[in-house]
Amino acid sequence: MRRGQPCRWRRIRWPGSNPAASPRGDVLAVAQVAGIMAAKNTSSWIPMCHPLPLTGIDIAFSDNGEDKLYIQATVKTKGVTGVEMEALTAVSAAALTVYDMCKAMQKDMVIGPTELVSKSGGKNGDFMRG
């Protein structure tokens, strides 16, 4: 996610910051829950995507200190099918939640790009973005 005006972005509650900074509450905590819920429900969001038994979902946030929020999802399963769609869905839902909760403060936020960084296992093997 990219923000248009960094000064407004500081109103979002980062770990260790003032919880009252955002009028809608802890933005990142809510976005984390949204990402986890989305990963678990990917088969309901995307046609022809079957439900998978997920064994772990982690949503992490970081920023570049200026105008970007990075959202990373790590999804695990014991099954043989890859979970890249679950991870991409989790990141997308988390980003949309941040936008929804912050749009009153700033409407010029941009979401994207969303990309697969790495994957291991699954039918098609490993992948690492160069």
Report the chain's C-alpha Rg in angstroms. 16
Rounded-to-integer distance, Cα 58 and Cα 73, Å? 6
Report the top-level CATH class of 6-114. alpha beta
Please list the active-site residues: 100
Report which of 124, 51, 40 is spatially closest to residue 87, judged by C-alpha positions: 40
* More confident: 40 or 102: 40
What's the whole-model pTM score?
A: 0.84
- Two tokens, residue 105: 């403060």
Query: Cα 112 vs. chain centroid, distance in angstroms?
Result: 11
The pLDDT tens digits for 38-64 are 999 999 999 999 999 999 999 999 887
Q: Tell me how far apart the alpha carbons of residues 13 and 16 are, in angstroms, rounded to a whole number.
A: 8
Every domain of the chain and the residues it spans: 6-114
